[in-house]
Amino acid sequence: MTFDKIASAIANNNKDVSAGQIKSLDEEILIRARNRSVNPGTIGDIILRANTQGGFLRIRDIANIKLKFSEVTNKSFINGKRGNLFNIRKLSTEDLEEISVF
């Protein structure tokens, strides 16, 4: 089992799908299949493959699924040495020159 196959199984079985709409003169009904989850138990139940005897290989059988934030490390280098990167944002109503005084 490859990581690509596992990622594909999660992507294909953990999504919301629009199935169209029904319109009348008085109302509109949107048809949606809501199947997106971040629940580790739900993700663990996703079937990766089945065998001829009717057994299933599920994600929970080969992985520990945990709900947590991913840690993304950002490193900045200037001329090959560690540096600092600042991302400064302003609102459209703020004056950039006035902000730069601080």
Question: What is the DSSP secondary-structure string of 27-42?
Answer: -EEEEEEE-----HHH
Q: Is the pLDDT of residue 102 over 70?
A: no
Please state the φ and ψ torsions of residue 78, each to the nearest 5 degrees: -125, 120
3-state secondary structure of 81: strand
Note the pTM of the prediction, 2 decimals: 0.53
CA dist 41 → 26, 59, 65 (Å): 41, 10, 8
Percent of the chain with pLDDT over 70: 98
Predicted confidence (pLDDT) per residue in 63-74, tens digit: 998 888 777 777
Q: Is the pLDDT of residue 88 over 80?
A: no
Torsion, CA 75, CA 80, CA 81, CA 86, rounded to 10: -50
Q: Position 59: which residue type?
A: I
Q: Which domains are present in the chain?
A: 3-67+74-100 (3.30.2090.10)
Average confidence (pLDDT) over 77-100:
80
